[in-house]
Amino acid sequence: MIDRLLEGRLLTLIVGSVFRLVEILVRTVHITVRGIRLLVQETVTSRIDRWLSGFGKRAIARQARVDRSSIVLVRKDGEYTGDLKYIAEEILRRGGSARITWALHDRARGPFPREFRFVRFGTAAFFRTVAGAGVVIQDGRPLQESGARRGPAQLWLQADGTVVGDAAARDAASSGAAASGEWSARGHARNDLLVGATEEDRAAVRKRVLDRLAVADTGQRFLLYTPAPGSHPGAVSLGGFDPVRVRAALSERFGGTWEILVRPPHTGTAESAMMLAGLPAFCRNAALHPDLQELLAVADAGLATGPGWIADYLLTGRPAFVLTSSAEAPSSAPLIVARSSDGLLRAIAGFDADAHERGVAEHRRASRDDEDGRAASRIVDRIEELTGMTVGTDRTPTGHDERRAL
């Protein structure tokens, strides 16, 4: 103490100590109050908010004025791909008086048709838009997960054309429709491109994909490869994949010059660019094109690390391989499974086109595969049957629009 007195800091230290005690007390109170607030919010108010939100959604669904010409399309990721894309394009192709609204997510990149209206998924505007739509079509269960409610005058469908819920089926029946909620379109709209596309369609898709990827079309052939997720979030495991040797094996077996479309499990631009940074220039970043089905249409061969899209790709009849270290085959489909990089090279070199064609045909017969390139048409027919309207789109959209610059 005497030392502090001699140094001229005694009073400063005493006053500082008092303030530090006050600071400790205030911080303790702050941390305690913050903890109580978070606990109350997590255990009490958030539950009440969910209940009130559900009450509000039910009220909107009951009271909303339904526009029978309004069709809302909802994908879980909001991206313009999958079954809903091809249902929407069939609606656009037919023309008519219906209006399409697409539910957007923050990372959705499109591009979307100019005829669409847009609403951001999960917002108040989204729930009001859904409640006011005559027809709502979803891929997966995003509507149920969001807590959206179906009104008594609405028709909710799955992407395969199945009516969602007994109430919707009863409403459809009461409006004069003969079909029940158990009906299915047979086939998937997303596969129409793989089964029913003409040469002109395929050429247009190839141009669209290569333009999006900024790849010059030199008549090269493409292998579509989807690496497996890595051991931590955002990481990718190449699983022993050697692009140089695989490319050489493809040229040796099938002829031509090959490039590899690499589509990682995460399709963010920055993450995928980092993953491809160490690969040869002939490995193209397919994450830049969000529509997987168009990539399948362009690919001359497919290589996956699990079942996923490969079942759809088999419809093309083109070579399809799976590279996996798993002890079990990824599916019952006639897949050529390799357990190592060398095994993959052997599988490519020994590919038997006739045996592959027979295996795919037998698998389709055994699984009662009804893919014929007209699933989207049947689903839109179904909508017309249940609603009594001629679907299509209003080519001069007005009203609420949350579309970003894409």
Amino acid, res. 359: G
Paired sense of beta strands 336-338 and 67-75, if any: unpaired
Helix (H) or strand (E) holding 347, with range, is helix 341-349
Q: Which of 172, 339, 133, 313 shows the shortest CA–CA distance to 240?
A: 339
For domain 65-190+377-387, the CATH architecture is 3-Layer(aba) Sandwich (3.40)
Assign 333 a pLDDT band (cuts: 50, 70, 90).
Answer: low
Q: Which residue has the higher pLDDT, 73 or 390?
A: 73
State mean pLDDT over 45-67: 87
Secondary structure E strands in 166-296: 221-226, 228-229, 236-237, 258-262, 283-285
Instruction: Output the six-digit token pair for 216.
Output: 């010059």
Maximum alpha-carbon separation in the chain: 100
pTM summary value: 0.79
Q: What is the pLDDT of residue 401?
A: 43
Q: What is the pLDDT of residue 169?
A: 43
Q: What is the pLDDT of residue 167?
A: 47
State mean pLDDT over 380-391: 81
Instruction: Output the six-digit token pair for 269.
Output: 């631009």
**Tally of CA atoms within 13 A in the half-sphere of 206 that contains its CB:** 17
- Name 101's bridge partners: 72, 117
Average pLDDT, the chain: 82
Q: Is the pLDDT of residue 325 over 50?
A: yes
Instruction: Output the six-digit token pair for 302.
Output: 């497919």
Q: How far is it, in rounded angstroms, from Cα 307 to Cα 356?
A: 17
Residue 319 burial (C-beta neighbours within 10 Å; 0-12, 13-18, 19+): buried
Instruction: Output the six-digit token pair for 230.
Output: 């890595």
Q: How far is it, in rounded angstroms, from Cα 38 to Cα 205?
A: 51
- For residues 110-134, one letter each, b for 16 or more C-beta atoms within 10 angstroms of the residue's C-beta and e for the rest, the string is bebeebbbbbbbbeeebbebbbbbb
Please write the tens of the pLDDT for every residue from 258-270.
999 998 876 566 6
Rounded alpha-carbon distances, angstroms, from residue 29 to 25, 33, 38, 44: 6, 6, 14, 21
Q: How far is it, in rounded angstroms, from Cα 42 to Cα 261?
A: 45
CATH of segment(s) 197-366? 3.40.50.12580
Q: Which residue has the higher pLDDT, 101 or 98?
A: 101
Q: How far is it, in rounded angstroms, from Cα 13 to Cα 23?
A: 15
Please write the tens of the pLDDT for every residue from 149-198.
998 888 999 987 788 764 444 444 344 443 444 555 578 999 999 988 88
Q: What is the pLDDT of residue 86?
A: 93
- The reply to whether domains 65-190+377-387 and 197-366 share a CATH topology is yes
Q: How far is it, in rounded angstroms, from Cα 169 to Cα 147?
A: 20
Q: Which of 91-95, 198-202, 270-274 has the lowest mean pLDDT?
A: 270-274
Q: What is the pLDDT of residue 293?
A: 94
The string of DSSP letters for 353-367 reads: HHHHHHHHHHHHHHT
Q: What angle do CA 171, 176, 178 make, to 5 degrees?
A: 90
Amino acid, res. 324: T
402 three-class SS: coil
Q: Is the pLDDT of residue 145 over 70?
A: yes
Q: What is the pLDDT of residue 178?
A: 37
Assign 13 a pLDDT band (cuts: 50, 70, 90).
Answer: confident
Which of 74-78, 164-168, 244-248, 331-335 tops mean pLDDT? 244-248
Domain ranges of the chain: 2-61, 65-190+377-387, 197-366
The string of DSSP letters for 180-215 reads: -TT---SS-GGGHHHHS--HHHHHHHHHHHHHHHT-
Q: Which of 182, 8, 188, 10 shows the shortest CA–CA distance to 82?
A: 188
